[in-house]
Amino acid sequence: MQTRSSTKASLSHKERTATEPRSRDLHPVIVDSIMEVGDTIRTFRLAIEDRQNGINFLPGQWLDVHVPGIEKAGGFTITSSPRDAVAATTRSSSPFLELAVQRSPDNPPAAWLWQPTETILGSQLAVRVGGSFIWPPPGLDSERIKRVVFIAGGVGINPLISMLSYIREENVPLDHVRLLYSTKLPSKTSTKSEVLFLPRILDLFCTSKPPPRQNHRDRLELFFTGTLDGSLLCCNEDVLFQSFVLPGFESEGNLPVVAWGGRINEHALSSAVGNEKERGSAVFYVCGPPDMTDSIVQYLKDRENVAPESVLCEKWW
């Protein structure tokens, strides 16, 4: 007999998201560029063919992605900001969408996207926007939100990087933005460019940039849980950022950042939740592996003065 989890895992993206909102419109896009982040992640820039209108979406949403020769669409989160996809305000010569896709041979659309680069560059895909894990949080009064805490594990950073980019670009008036990002390192000699979106995240949190783009109360916490080759970092859960420095970090300037060896723990969560007054004006976004997401969501909802509706999570499994 199949378990509930195995049954859900066997469903297609469209079947898993059948109750989620999605646009009626299919948009043609072109695979414009591909970059590899380590051995397991590729980022894709998809040029939008309708340069005049672009594509509208909300930070955190995903795409139904129809690739050639495969009947069922894949589901991949948009990692760029909405501004990038709108022709009138895009920072590029043409509007685009960005995806980060993990190597997954058992997922036909993902496997198609992991073909040799020269095979798929220039290919036309069709995409549709969907999803309800978004910023601003639905059903909440955005004007009352003063604190936002993002908690990501691995590729769970994907929807959160879009939200964070939007908040920075639009100068959303917040007193405090915090990101807790747990991830593995490809090796002990990894550079920041080998950690998914880390260079972009560092730039978004850089306090050397003048206001109103930044708030000096913002904070970035990195949790390096080990390396993919099976070795561990030579540090423990109480080792500070200054004791473990990735090559190239020294030149980043004034960053409100601390890095730890180990998983996101209760001490880090307690600090992020804040005091009783701060909790009342906070919203929490959680996205990561199943066990991590479930345990952190439960921890947050159990805190006094944290409204259940202020804790949002994305479950793609």
Which pLDDT score is estimated for 6? 42
User: How confident is the model at residue 216, as a pLDDT?
Assistant: 54
Sheet with 147-153: list strands edge to edge.
Answer: 257-261, 219-227, 176-185, 147-153, 282-287, 311-314
Q: What tens digit of pLDDT does each residue of 236-255 get?
A: 333 333 334 444 444 445 56
Give the residue, 170 or 236, on which the prediction is more confident: 170
Average pLDDT over residues 185-191: 73
Task: Provide the pLDDT confidence category of residue 233 given band limits of 50, 70 and 90.
Answer: very low
| Average pLDDT over all residues of the chain | 86
184 close to 224: Cβ distance less than 8 angstroms: yes
Quick: pLDDT tens for 103-142: 999 999 999 999 999 999 999 999 999 999 999 999 999 9
Q: Tell me the average pLDDT across 251-269.
A: 77
pLDDT in tens, 64-91: 999 999 999 999 999 999 999 997 655 5
Q: Does the pLDDT of residue 297 top 60, yes or no?
A: yes
Q: Which of 91-95, 128-132, 218-222 has the lowest mean pLDDT?
A: 91-95
Residue 162 above 50 pLDDT? Answer: yes
Select from 286, 15, 17 the least CA-distant residue to 131: 17
Q: Average pLDDT of 180-197? A: 84
* Residue 310 in this model has a pLDDT that exceeds 80: yes
CA 200 to chain centre: 11
